[in-house]
Amino acid sequence: MTSEEKKSFLLLKSMIFHYHGLDEDELQILKRTANKIKAEKELEWANEFIAKDYGTAFDRARKYLGGTIGKLEKDQRLSYLDQVWKANYQKGYITEMEATAMLKLAKDWDIETELISMVRS
């Protein structure tokens, strides 16, 4: 995984967790992910991206991710959303807001049907 891919993946995960306000469990999941993929600086970048303007963070991230993850092969786009979906289960729940945010991204990336199928199984 390149540094740019790490930044994009961690921005995606962090953005979904921040969607309703980042809690301690989510912060720990993000830190473990960054540690696992050796991307502490990329996580710092993602959190600064969000903190720059929390009110517009989702829309800015959507645009940014459309130019990075959105251009990857369909299987890879779905894999990233799948990993974020599963990370939510690590904390024990997925809020309606988080699910809606992931569905918006899936629609942007033309993988909405695949994400819905994946979630149902």
CATH number of the domain residue 38 falls in: 1.10.3680
Cα dihedral value 78, 51, 34, 84, nearest 10 = -30
Q: What's the domain range around 42? A: 3-120
Q: For the segment 26-78, what is each residue's pLDDT rounded down to a tens digit?
A: 999 999 999 999 999 999 999 999 999 999 999 999 999 999 999 999 999 99
100: Cβ contacts below 8 Å, ≥ 6 apart = none
Q: For the segment 54-63, what is each residue's pLDDT rounded down to a tens digit?
A: 999 999 999 9
The Cα 18–Cα 38 span in angstroms is 21
Number of domains in the chain: 1
12-31 residues labelled b (16+ CB within 10 A) or e (exposed): bbbbbbbbeeeeeebeebbe
For residue 107, give the 3-state DSSP assignment.
Answer: helix
Cα end-to-end distance, the chain, whole Å: 28
- Count of C-beta atoms within a 10 Å radius of residue 52: 10
89: pLDDT strictly greater than 90: no
66-87 residues labelled b (16+ CB within 10 A) or e (exposed): eebbbeeeeeebbebbbebbeb
pLDDT for res 95: 86
Q: For the segment 95-106, what is each residue's pLDDT rounded down to a tens digit?
A: 888 999 999 999
Report the predicted TM-score, pTM, of the whole model to 2 decimal places.
0.92
